Structure 1
Amino acid sequence: MDKKSELKEDRKKIIAGLEKAYQKLVEFKRYKKSPLIIAKNGEIQEIAPENIQPTTVYITNYDREV
């Protein structure tokens, strides 16, 4: 396996882990009925647990040069 394909595989694993962590965070916030606090455009915002997106998808271009 060459260096590029190793990096692509590592990137896929990292992204999958981040998506799983987000799902667990959403489950926890809904269980505790606590808002998700985020920073958006430099402003602090609260998102009610029932309004949190259940999943997130990281869009990437795996064909770009690494």
Structure 2
Amino acid sequence: MNQPSQGTTTSQQIQEGLDAAYEHMLAFKRYKQTPVVIVQNGQVVAVSPDELPPAASKAA
């Protein structure tokens, strides 16, 4: 009945929550002036939060 539409809604809500958490993390890292540690090309690297894209343009 309403299973597919609810799945899409839940999926969208999860994505919105992840985007909000990402933006809050970047804001916190900018405030504290600390790097974001990520894995890039198999290497662990520290990246400035200003170099990372906002959540809206990050989504594919």
Q: TM-score, normalised by structure 2?
A: 0.83
Report the count of equivalent residues.
58
- CA positional deviation for 1:46: 1.2
Higher relative contact order (CA 8 A, sep 6+): 1
Unaligned runs of 5+ in 2: none
Deviation >6 Å, runs of 4+? none
Q: TM-score, normalised by structure 1?
A: 0.76
Relative to its length, the structure with more helix (as a share) is: 2
Q: Percent identity?
A: 29
What RMSD, in angstroms, separates the aligned Cα atoms of the two structures? 1.5
- CA positional deviation for 1:38: 0.2
Alignment of 1:1-66 (within 5 A): 2-53=2-53, 55-57=54-56, 58-59=59-60
- CA positional deviation for 1:2: 1.2
Larger radius of gyration: 1
